[in-house]
Amino acid sequence: MRIDGWRPALIDYIDRQTREPFAYGVNDCLLVVAGGVEAITGVDHAKPYRGRYKSLSGAKKLLGKAPLAFVRGLFDETAPSKAHDGDIGVIRQGHEWAFGLFIGPHIYVQTQAGMGILPRTDAVKAFRVI
Q: Cα–Cα distance between 71 and 78 in angstroms, integer?
A: 12
What pTM value is reported for the model? 0.95
For the domain that residue 99 is a member of, what is the CATH number?
A: 3.90.1720.10
Boundaries of domain holding 62: 6-128
Q: Cα–Cα distance between 48 and 87 in angstroms, integer?
A: 22
Show Cβ contacts of residue 52 under 8 Å, excluding neighbours closer than 6 positions: 25, 58, 62
Interstrand relation of 96-103 and 125-128 (parallel, antiparallel or unpaired): unpaired
Q: What is the secondary structure of 27-42 as a DSSP string?
A: BSHHHHHHHHHHHHHS
**Looking at the domain assignment, is residue 1 inside a domain?**
no
**Looking at the domain assignment, is residue 82 inside a domain?**
yes
Each residue's pLDDT, cut to its tens digit, for the chain (130 residues) gives 999 999 999 999 999 999 999 999 999 999 999 999 999 999 999 999 999 999 999 999 999 999 999 999 999 999 999 999 999 999 998 889 999 999 999 999 999 999 999 999 999 999 999 9
**Looking at the domain assignment, is residue 92 inside a domain?**
yes
Predicted confidence at residue 94, as pLDDT, reads 86
Predicted confidence at residue 128, as pLDDT, reads 98
Q: Look at the chain and report how many structural domains it folds into.
A: 1
Distance of CA 43 to the CA centre of its chain: 14
